[in-house]
């Protein structure tokens, strides 16, 4: 039965119900709420692809402060500060949520942990080729938040190392304006990253660390988890009392930091790096969630190798006696060395030499600077002689010499001396008969 227009009743007194609209597509993040959730940078790339636009264009949408993009506005999504837990990640998550109609997108970043730890992201892109291959077969490939954490270098699902280079090695130059940007494509050659070089088996230590981080991301309502501000300090003090009779210095030796740093974590509310939190959970055999919540009731001390210390290197007395003699020998060498090279040869830090041997360090630095100045002057003179010979050869052939013509293949080396090159040509033209 066909309904005629006269039979339709319209109530003009009631306002029309129009569903809420978003400025950009209401793109749904993949695997949200799980350990394999999508990252904010992957979400940004897929959102730009849905609009058939370059991702760099999203840097100029209203609400994004250009100071948050810095000089890398054309590829801001590749920078570590975009993947971390700072102000830039917070602004992008807030504005993308507003533009796409989501309540919030903090769970695609590590912002929920910013209140209790300092989070570092990988400076280079990393991925698991087997995960991308499976995602291509099942649906849409995407980049995982787990791959962007600096403490993770293995895939907890396939037990292999994460890759960071494509087969092209990054040397295949394509047009950056027309190249397709997607989480599973190489930005240099635009080929799929599933064709990367063969991955290797991950060591047990890296695999365990990756699985612990995946377990942390799998916490229900990760973006709304209210981590206590003093949870880590409570865990540190309780674990030290239970296993080391309250001595935080032993905890510091295990973590590879000085005891002053651990004292600041325990008593002054300073935020620890995420890799030290992971190491602490490995040592005491408990999840990272318990460390951040301050629950040390189920800890069990395990054998662990200390991390590399970030503190000062202790110099034995025998080495201290040899250092003045070694510094005098370096000053008598025919070729001067930089203070950094001298510190490496002696086996101490540059800071240690500057603090304890100021006179010798000043002499080493002055001698090295003089040598560098002399080498620079000699190199410039040789370049000017070469340029003058070229100018004379061009003039002898009957052609008027120009700077660009005389530079030839050495233009990059001669660019800083361009004014001197112009003067050489001017002098030669003034000497030659008209």
Element housing 377 (H / E) = helix 358-396
CA-to-CA distance for 262 and 283, rounded, in angstroms? 15
Token readout for 183 is 């989480």
- The predicted model gives 87-108 an average pLDDT of 86
CA distance 156 to 209: 9
391 exposure class (CB count in 10 Å sphere: 0-12, 13-18, 19+): buried
**3-class secondary structure, 170:** coil
118 pairs with which residues across the strands? 273
* 355-378 pLDDT tens trace: 888 999 999 999 999 998 998 888
CB 133 within 8 A of CB 247: no
The neighbouring-strand residues paired with 121 are 149
Distance between CA atoms of residues 358 and 353, nearest Å: 7
Residue 2 clears pLDDT 90, i.e. is over it = no
What is the spatial distance between Cα 38 and Cα 131, in angstroms, rounded to a whole number? 12
Distance, CA of 346 to CA of 348 (rounded, Å)? 6
pLDDT band at 38 (very low <50, low <70, confident <90, very high): very high
pLDDT at 370: 92
CA atoms within 13 A on the CB side of 277: 31
Give the model's confidence band at 15: pLDDT under 50 very low, under 70 low, under 90 confident, else very high.
low
**DSSP strand E in 169-218: where?**
none
The yes or no reply on domain 228-311 and CATH 1.10.260.40 is: yes
Q: What is the pLDDT of residue 308?
A: 47
Q: Where are the alpha helices (DSSP H) in 244-357?
A: 248-255, 259-267, 274-284, 288-293, 317-332, 339-346, 350-356
CA 261, CA 213: separation in Å to the nearest integer?
23
Distances (CA, A) of 163 to 21, 31, 152: 39, 21, 12
- Give the CA distances from residue 262 to residues 79, 119, 274, in Å, rounded to whole numbers and listed in that order: 30, 17, 14
pLDDT tens string 302-327: 755 444 444 556 677 788 888 888 89
- Higher per-residue confidence, 393 vs 71: 393
The Cα–Cα gap between 321 and 318 comes to: 5
Cβ atoms of residues 88 and 115 within 8 Å: no
| Cα within 13 Å of Cα(385), Cβ side | 6
Q: Of 263, 280, 37, 250, nearest to 143 (Cα)? A: 37
- Rounded to whole angstroms, the Cα distance separating 403 from 132 reads 53
The radius of gyration computed from the CA coordinates of the chain, to the nearest angstrom, equals: 31
Take residue 185 and report the two structure tokens written for it: 């494509």
Hey, where are the domains in the chain? 40-195, 228-311, 317-431
Give the residue carrying structure tokens 């939190």.
277
166-200, pLDDT tens digit by residue?
776 654 444 444 456 778 787 777 778 877 667 78
Q: Which residues pair with 202 in a beta bridge?
A: none
User: Which is nearest to 176 in space by CA: 80, 270, 75, 96?
Assistant: 75
Question: How many CA within 13 A on the CB side of residue 417?
Answer: 23
Residue with tokens 């290797």: 200
Give me the residues paired with residue 282 across strands: none
27-32: Cβ within 8 A, 24+ apart? 27/100, 29/105, 29/108, 30/139, 30/140, 30/142, 31/142, 31/144, 32/107, 32/108
Token representation of residue 434: 């008209």
- pTM passes above 0.75: no
DSSP class of residue 294? T
């Amino acid at each position: 039965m066909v309904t005629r227009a006269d039979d339709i009743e319209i109530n003009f007194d009631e306002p029309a119900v129009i569903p809420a609209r978003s400025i950009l597509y209401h793109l749904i993040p993949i695997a949200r709420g799980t350990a394999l959730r999508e990252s904010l940078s992957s979400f940004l790339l897929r959102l730009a692809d849905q609009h058939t636009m370059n991702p760099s264009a999203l840097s100029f949408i209203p609400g994004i402060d250009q100071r948050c993009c810095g000089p890398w506005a054309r590829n801001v999504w590749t920078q570590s500060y975009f993947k971390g837990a700072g102000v830039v990640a917070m602004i992008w998550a807030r504005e993308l949520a507003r533009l796409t109609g989501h309540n919030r997108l903090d769970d695609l970043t590590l912002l929920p942990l910013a209140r209790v730890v300092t989070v570092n992201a990988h400076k280079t892109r990393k991925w698991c080729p087997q995960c991308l291959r499976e995602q291509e077969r099942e649906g849409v490939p995407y980049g995982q938040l787990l791959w962007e954490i600096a403490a993770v270098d293995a895939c907890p699902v396939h037990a292999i190392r994460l890759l960071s280079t494509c087969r092209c090695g990054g040397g295949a130059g394509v047009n950056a304006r027309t190249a397709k940007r997607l989480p599973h494509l190489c930005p240099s050659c635009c080929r799929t990253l599933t064709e990367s070089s063969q991955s290797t088996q991950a060591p047990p230590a890296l695999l365990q660390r990756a699985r612990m981080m995946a377990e942390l991301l799998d916490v229900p309502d990760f973006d709304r988890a209210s981590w206590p501000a003093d949870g880590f300090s409570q865990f540190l003090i309780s674990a030290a009392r239970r296993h080391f009779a309250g001595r935080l210095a032993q905890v510091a030796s295990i973590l590879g930091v000085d005891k002053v740093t651990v004292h600041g974590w325990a008593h002054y509310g300073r935020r620890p790096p995420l890799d030290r939190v992971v190491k602490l959970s490995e040592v005491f055999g408990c999840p990272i969630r318990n460390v951040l919540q301050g629950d040390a009731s189920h800890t069990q001390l395990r054998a662990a190798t200390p991390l590399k210390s970030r503190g000062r290197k202790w110099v034995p007395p025998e080495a201290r006696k040899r250092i003045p003699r070694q510094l005098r020998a370096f000053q008598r060498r025919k070729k001067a060395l930089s203070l950094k090279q001298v510190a490496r040869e002696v086996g101490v830090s540059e800071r240690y030499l500057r603090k304890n041997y100021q006179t010798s360090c000043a002499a080493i630095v002055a001698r090295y600077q003089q040598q560098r100045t002399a080498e620079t002057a000699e190199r410039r003179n040789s370049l000017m002689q070469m340029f003058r010979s070229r100018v004379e050869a061009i003039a002898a052939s009957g052609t008027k010499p120009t700077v660009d013509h005389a530079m030839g293949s050495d233009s990059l080396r001669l660019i800083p001396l361009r004014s001197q090159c112009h003067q050489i040509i001017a002098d030669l033209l003034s000497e030659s008969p008209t």
